């Protein structure tokens, strides 16, 4: 009597529920937490080069920074991105047939995931691993103290392997990547609360959705301020260039205080 062979379930199939939960959780902690910290630190550029360099140096002085990068950033990012791509590739998109808000969110979450992943790869190559590719100096090198200028030059004068990339193209790429990352994280907060049973009712889901939208807007604003600061920053040695708005405001306030003391 012949028997039909039974296909053994794959590792992913056996642990599908656990992997989906870990994927959802890793998008909030540690990846989401890192995104908040990263954009907040970068927003210090709007206050001037000194504030930005001070914030970056304080991070680089953390003990066991390499371990934090590997186990708190790179490995979770790799898992979240790779498994997220698998989910997106096996998903069924029916937003054209059923154009509901939930379907639009679902589709945008996958699209922004692809964009954010591609942007992240380029961003890491431009700064964190630029010295390995010959694109620029080592960002973590303690001898390179002016992190602001390294970042400004990487945005405004990007020369990968000698190829001249216009600053407008680089900034446009960063605006798109920033928007994708902020939406992906903000919508991820909303879906995380649903999948983990935190928001069960429709009202609770709407409230969390509003909070998540605010988080996304704040993060995008921080990133936008940092990009604006680097774009408007004077080139070293370029005379006749006005300082950034934040520095003008600080300088004006200091001048007012000094004149007040003189009276």
In this prediction, residue 242 has a pLDDT band, given cuts at 50, 70 and 90, of very low
Higher pLDDT, 77 or 92: 77
Q: Is the pLDDT of residue 160 over 80?
A: yes
What does the pLDDT look like over 55-72, one tens digit per residue?
999 999 999 999 999 999
pLDDT at residue 90, as a whole number = 84
- Give the residue-averaged pLDDT of 218-241: 86
pLDDT at residue 3, as a whole number = 57
In this prediction, what percent of the chain has a pLDDT beyond 70?
84
pTM: 0.84
Tokens found for residue 214: 């605010």
Q: Is the pLDDT of residue 40 over 80?
A: yes
């Amino acid at each position: 009597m012949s028997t039909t062979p039974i296909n053994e379930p794959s590792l992913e199939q056996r642990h599908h529920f656990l992997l989906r939960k870990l994927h959802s959780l890793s998008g909030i902690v540690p990846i989401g937490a890192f995104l908040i910290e990263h954009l907040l630190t970068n927003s210090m550029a709007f206050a001037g080069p000194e504030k930005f360099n001070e914030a970056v140096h304080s991070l680089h002085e953390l003990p066991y920074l390499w371990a934090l990068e590997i186990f708190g950033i790179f490995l979770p990012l790799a898992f979240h991105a790779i498994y997220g791509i698998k989910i997106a590739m096996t998903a069924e998109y029916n937003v054209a047939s059923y154009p509901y808000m939930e379907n639009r969110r679902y589709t945008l979450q996958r699209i922004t995931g692809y964009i954010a992943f591609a942007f992240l790869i380029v961003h890491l190559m431009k700064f964190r691993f630029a010295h390995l590719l010959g694109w620029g100096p080592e960002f973590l090198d303690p001898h390179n103290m002016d992190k602001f200028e390294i970042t400004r030059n990487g945005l405004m004068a990007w020369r990968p392997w000698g190829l001249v990339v216009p600053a407008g193209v680089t900034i446009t790429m960063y605006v798109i990547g920033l928007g994708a990352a902020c939406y992906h994280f903000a919508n991820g907060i909303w879906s995380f609360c649903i999948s983990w049973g935190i928001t069960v009712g429709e009202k609770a889901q709407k409230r969390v959705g509003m909070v998540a939208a605010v988080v996304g807007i704040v993060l995008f604003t921080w990133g936008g301020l940092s990009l604006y600061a680097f774009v408007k920053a004077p080139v070293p040695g370029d005379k006749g260039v006005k300082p950034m708005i934040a520095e003008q405001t600080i300088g004006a306030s200091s001048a007012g205080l000094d004149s007040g003391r003189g009276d």
